[in-house]
Structure 1
Amino acid sequence: MNDVQTKIYGLLENYLEYCKENGYTDFRIWCEDNIDTIDEDGLVDSIYQEVNYVADKLFC
């Protein structure tokens, strides 16, 4: 796992914990303030729909 993947994985873990405690919120919006590079933005962009789908099923 490279640095970008590691960072986004950490955000994903935190996001799921947040949703568990507070309910569903959009992953892309939740990550906005923590994205620092084009590579990070690209990875979030490529997974956010699937992450939202899973969070919706788990926490709504």
Structure 2
Amino acid sequence: MDKAQIKIYGLLENYLEYCKTNGFTDFEIWCEDNIDSANEKGLVQDIYREVNHIADKLFD
């Protein structure tokens, strides 16, 4: 995994824990303040719909 993937994986772990405690929220918006590069933004763009779908099914 490269640096962007490692960072987004960490955000994903934190996001799922957050949703477990607080309920569903949008992954892309939740990540906004933590994205520092175009690679990170692109990776979030690639996965956010699937992440939201999973979180919606688990936590909504």
Short-chain TM bin = over 0.9
Question: 1:1-60 to 2 correspondence within 5 Å?
Answer: 1-60=1-60
Gaps of 5+ in 2: none
Shift of 1:22: 0.1
- Distance of 1:9 and 1:18 partners within structure 2: 14
- Distance of 1:31 and 1:39 partners within structure 2: 13
Give CA deviations for 1:3-55 in whole Å, capped at 9, x if unaligned.
Answer: 10000000000000000000000000000000000000000000000000000
- Distance of 2:4 and 2:42 partners within structure 1: 10
Kindly report the root-mean-square deviation, in angstroms, between the aligned alpha carbons of the 2 structures.
0.2
Deviating 4+ runs (over 3 angstroms): none
Gaps of 5+ in 1: none
